[in-house]
Amino acid sequence: MICVKNLKKSFESSQGTIDVLNDITTNVDKGEKIAIIGPSGAGKSVFLRCLNGLEKPTSGEVFFNGQCITEPGCDMNIIRRQIGMVFQQFNLFPHLTIRQNITLVPTTLKLKSKDEANEIAESLLKRVGLLNKADSYPAQLSGGQKQRVAIVRAMAMNPKVMLFDEPTSALDPEMVGEVLSVMKDLANDGMTMLVVTHEMSFAKEVATRVLFMEKGKIISDDIPEHLFNKSDNARVREFLSKIL
Amino acid sequence: MKKLVNSLLFTLLLTLLFNVVEQNLIKAEDKKQINVATNAEFGPFEYKDGNDIVGIDIDIAKYIVDKMGADINIIDISFDALILELKNHTCDFAIAAMSKNDEKENSVDFSDPYFIAKQDVILPIDSEIKSPGELNGKRIGVHLGTTGDSYCTNNFKDSEIHRYKNGAEAVMDLVNGRLDAVVIDDLPARMLIEKNNRSVKKMDGHLFKEEYRIVVPKGEIELLYRINTILTEMKSTGKIDEIVEKYTKESSKSNNSLINQIYNNLIYKERYMGIVQGLITTLKITVVALIIGLILGVATALIKVSKDNNLLMKFLNIIANTYLSVIKGTPMVVQLFVIYYLILGSSGLDKILVAMISFGINSGAYVSDIIRAGILSVDVGQTEAGRSLGLNSRQTMMKIVFPQALKNSMPTLCNEFINLLKETSVAGFIGIMDLSKAGEVIRSQTYEPLVPLLSVAIIYFSITQSVVWLMSLLERRLRKSDMR
């Protein structure tokens, strides 16, 4: 479904050029749930953002369903409708109600009529237990509730794949669970997911594959049982021993 | 927004329409009409009373034209333009308390004098100055552009000359100790001294005399002869004295009590109407300028924050940057003059319309900065969220970023509106009767600055306070989404 070839990304800074992604090549098949872990500064988020074009790679190619989306002529706006993204900071639109947050894009892009969009929003909100908040504003919600709405907002576009960029990192600990359970539901429904996370329990329980990134490279690509118990990579073992 | 645009267009159309009607009225020439030019800013000789131009000179001119068996058409233009108007034969004669000088005599002809004005010196009551010679080196207040001004400038080389737009303000400063003497025509001087008889006095004798004459285009000998004949008759029959008497008596009736001043400045001769009309003009200019400013400001702000890098955007960016730096780098008055006299000078557009455009252009630059700051204050995550859902950059701006930016900018936009309202007070510089100018006109008629100044200040203050109050209501509604 997603095919990444020799992806490189570097930033210019006062200390010279920094290579954030250094030659990443990997594949994501339909239905896979991939956890991306690793120390901060490893390039996990940048990698994720390259997949929907929020970052422009310096070189390399990304294919989505066989279409090269790193080509200059590619209409990213069409591609992005099929790739949902959930951010660490939720990024709900504060001037709109929850209902409007969810229906804004489908109606603006004329993908759905107002009534249809509304129906979808309500059924999705019901699924995450937030139907009673439909006409509240984001400021009236807790962090966990906001993130659940953000997931619903992305889901309302009926995406083929969902990208999660540290979805629980900005949450108070007692709210992490409610967001993870929504994500687990999504995984059980067969959604293709890429999740940058520090939640090792999620990586262990839900992921079908775990990518370990460090210094812009994928240094381990493994199934969770193997990675968490008897990884043959010393660096991975060291990292896990620190956080577990 | 559509309604706004419609009402803007309506106002524009209306102003244009008035313009056309006005011009046609002037053009409707009658053979027997005589055009008389004056500069109605020098009471009691010529000044505006409401919409009428009145004064000693005007009555004399009316008498002369009447004797000639013609109808009078009075043209009010700036003092500097009078000679030009005569040269171009766009008027038949000019009467504006003008006196002879060599420079002028080369291009126009002068009648016999119809009035001898004496320049008097007003002194503080306890002043020890006794003769004109002692004035050199003192701080002297004069009426800007009058012969008193040039006389003092030429003769008292060591003095600080303070130039005022009207005599009453000069005398206020004299009373407050900022001046040592005020030099002004004897007629206004007489009234000013009467109003302030506890604090000022007249210096004995006159500083110098000057003779007021009617001015005609060079070579109009026949016209000059007829004018001189009528003037001689007016002098011998006492007609001129009668007219002068009429205009100088009126003000000496009043005394200094506050009630009396309020009556004299606001109610007498319905002077408050001038303020009401000025207020309407000020509001019209402010509101239309605000709309123009918002349109310009939002457009330039959007151009400046746009990330598109094509040739058109680069070009628009250069234009926007030039516009912003020119407008923010020069004073409003200068911009008004440049637009009124140079850019739209020959367009024949109504003054008020020109003012609306000028203030709109000026305000647009500040609105642009406000909106741009508002846009930049919206978290970049908002744009990313919009884009990641599949909106293009324009949709993201219009649906997500701009509404938040506008809300963030509301308090500053409200300030800009208030600034704009106050800034329009310079419209008087191009002869618009706005609120400030209306106050000024009353001041020049009554020689009492207190009541007109305070009235105008109170009106400005009430408007700005209501705007602040309205904005706080609006903000409260907009903040609905922030309440927890």
Distance (Å, whole) CA A80 – CA B267 = 71
The two structure tokens encoding residue B123: 């002194």
Is B238 in the same domain as B276?
no
> Closest-CA residue in chain A for B400?
A93
Q: What is the pLDDT of residue B28?
A: 40
Q: What pLDDT sits at residue B27?
A: 42
* Angle in degrees, CA A193, A197, A203, rounded to 5: 70
Of B381, B388, B484, the CB nearest to A52: B388
The reply to whether residue A77 touches residue B391, judged by beta carbons under 8 angstroms, is: yes
Helix axis angle, B351-377 to B311-328, nearest 10°: 110
State the Cα–Cα distance between residues B471 and B198, nearest whole angstrom: 47
B289/chain A closest Cα distance in angstroms: 29
- Is the CB of residue A139 less than 8 Å away from at least one CB of chain B? yes
- Torsion angle defined by CA atoms of residues A57, A59, A62 and A63, in that order, rounded to the nearest 10 degrees: 140
CA distance A140 to chain B (A): 4
B309 and B410 housed in the same domain: yes
In a domain, B260, yes or no: no
Kindly give the pairing relationship between strand B71-76 and strand B93-98: unpaired
Rounded to whole angstroms, how far apart are CA atoms B32 and B22?
A: 20
Output the pLDDT for position B250: 52
Residue of B nearest to A79 (CA): B390
Angstrom distance (rounded) from CA B435 to CA B442: 11
pLDDT of residue B1: 47
Q: Where are the alpha helices (DSSP H) in B106-159?
A: 147-155
Judge if B198 and B222 occupy the same domain: no
Chain B residues near residue A104 by CB distance under 8 angstroms: 399-400
User: Residue A203 is encoded by which pair of tokens?
Assistant: 């990586």
What DSSP designation does A135 have? T
Residue B252: predicted pLDDT: 46
Cβ of A138 within 8 Å of Cβ of B381? The answer is no
Same domain, yes or no: B243 and B203: no
* Pick from B381, B390, B481: CB nearest A157: B390
B132 occurs within a structural domain: yes
Q: Do B387 and A54 touch (CB under 8 A)?
A: yes
pLDDT in tens, A99-151: 999 999 999 999 999 999 999 999 999 999 999 999 999 999 999 999 999 99
Q: Judge if B325 and B337 occupy the same domain.
A: yes
Q: Tokens standing for A26? A: 């990997």
Identity of the residue numbered B299:
A
Q: Does the CB of A85 have a partner CB in chain B at under 8 Å?
A: yes
CB contact under 8 A, A78 and B390: yes
Query: Do B317 and B241 share a domain, yes or no?
Result: no
Query: CATH number of the domain that B168 lies in?
Result: 3.40.190.10
Q: What is the pLDDT of residue B256?
A: 66
Report, as ranges of residue numbers, the positions in chain B whose pLDDT lies below 50: 1-2, 17, 20-31, 252-254
Cβ atoms of residues B390 and A154 within 8 Å: no
Q: Which domain range does residue B192 map to? A: 116-211
- The answer to whether B483 contacts A83, with C-beta atoms less than 8 Å apart, is no
Residue of B nearest to A88 (CA): B381
Does A94 lie at the interface with B, CB-CB under 8 angstroms? Answer: yes
Please tell me whether residues B342 and B426 are part of one structural domain: yes
- Report, in angstroms and rounded to the nearest whole number, the Rg of chain B calculated over CA atoms: 28
Q: What is the dihedral of CA B38, B40, B41, B44, to 10 degrees?
A: 100
Q: How many residues does chain B have?
A: 484
Is residue B224 located within the same domain as residue B354? no
DSSP of A24-60: EEEEE-TT-EEEEE-STTSSHHHHHHHHTTSS--SEE
The one-character DSSP state at B178 is S
Closest of A213, A207, A159, A200 to residue A183, by C-alpha: A207
B257 inside domain:
no
Q: Are residues B231 and B195 in the same domain?
A: no
Q: What pLDDT, on the 0 to 100 scale, is given for residue B333? A: 92
Report the sign of the C-alpha dihedral through residues B64, B67, B68, B72, in that order: positive
* Residue B367 located in a structural domain: yes
- Peptide bond between residue B44 and the one before it cis (omega within 30 degrees of 0): yes
Which pLDDT score is estimated for B101? 75
Burial B27-36 (b: 16+ CB within 10 A, else e): eeeeeeebbb
Tell me, yes or no, whether B342 and B447 share the same domain.
yes
pLDDT above 90 (res A242): no
B385/A139 CB distance under 8 A: no
The alpha carbon of residue B288 is apart from the nearest alpha carbon of chain A, in Å, by 29
B400-443, pLDDT tens digit by residue? Answer: 999 999 999 988 999 999 999 999 999 988 878 899 988 888 88
Residue B101 counted as domain residue: yes
A161 and chain B in contact, CB less than 8 A: no
> Same domain, yes or no, for B141 and B225?
no
CA–CA separation, A244 and B167 (whole Å): 89
How high is the pLDDT of residue B30?
44
- CATH number where B381 lies: 1.10.3720.10
Are both B197 and B293 inside the same structural domain?
A: no
- The span from the CA of B217 to the CA of B223, in Å, is 9
A154 in B contact zone (CB under 8 Å) = yes
Cβ contacts below 8 Å, chain A against chain B, sum to 74
Other C-beta atoms closer than 10 Å to the C-beta of B428 total: 20
Among all residues of chain B, which has the CA nearest to that of A153? Answer: B389
Residue of B nearest to A154 (CA): B389
Chain B CB contacts of A140 below 8 Å: 483-484
| A153: pLDDT strictly greater than 80 | yes
| Bridge partner list, B72 | B34
Closest Cα to residue B56, out of B267, B193, B214?
B214
Q: How far apart are the first and last CA of chain B?
A: 31
- Measured between beta carbons, which residues in chain B are less than 8 angstroms from residue A97? 481
Question: Residue B432 phi/psi, 5° resolution?
Answer: -85, 135
Nearest CA in chain A to B405: A95
In angstroms, the CA A3 to CA A24 distance is: 10
Q: Which chain A residues have a beta carbon less than 8 Å from that of B387?
A: 54, 80
DSSP state of A233: -
Judged by a CB distance cut-off of 8 A, whether residue A138 touches chain B is yes
Instruction: Please answer yes or no on whether B480 and A139 come within 8 Å at the CB atom.
Output: no
For residue B6, what pLDDT is reported? 58
A171, exposed or middle or buried, with CB in 10 Å at 0-12, 13-18, 19+?
Answer: buried
Judge whether A16 is closer than 8 Å to chain B, CB to CB. no
Cα separation, B122 vs B200, in Å, equals: 7
**Residue B259 resides in a domain:** no
Q: Tell me how close the Cα of B323 comes to any Cα of chain A, in angstroms.
A: 32
Distance CA B387, CA B367 (A): 27
Cβ neighbours for B322, distance < 8 A, ≥ 6 positions apart: none
Angle at alpha carbon of residue B157, lines to B151 and B159, rounded to 5°:
95
CA distance B198 to B280: 38
A contact test, residue of B307, B377, B378, B388 with most A CBs within 10 A: B388
Contact A95 B390 (CB under 8 A): no
Residues in chain B closer than 8 A to A84 (CB atoms): 388-389
Contact A80, A158 (CB under 8 A): no
Of B389, B395, B480, the CB nearest to A80: B389
Cβ <8 Å between B388 and A83:
yes
Looking at the domain assignment, is residue B253 inside a domain?
A: no
Q: What is the C-alpha separation between B286 and B293, in angstroms, rounded? A: 10
3-state secondary structure B360-428: HHHHHHHHHHHHHHHHHHCCHHHHHHHHHCCCCHHHHHHHHHHHHHHHHHHHHHHHHHHHHHHHHHHHH
Nearest C-alpha of chain A: how many angstroms from B473?
17
What does pTM read for this prediction?
0.72
Contacts of B400 in chain A (CB under 8 A): 93, 104
Q: How many domains does chain B have?
A: 3
The residues, any chain, with a CB within 8 Å of residue B13's CB and separated by 6 or more, are none
Instruction: State residue A35's pLDDT score.
Output: 94
The C-alpha angle with vertex B449 and arms to B444 and B453, in degrees rounded to 5, equals 110
A94·B481 Cβ contact <8 A: yes
With CA atoms as reference, the chain B residue closest to A110 would be: B391
CA distances from A106 to A76, A115, A124, B382, B389 (A): 16, 11, 14, 17, 9
Is B237 inside any structural domain? yes
Q: Check residue B31 and give its pLDDT.
A: 47
Chain-chain contact of B390 with A54 (C-beta, under 8 angstroms): no
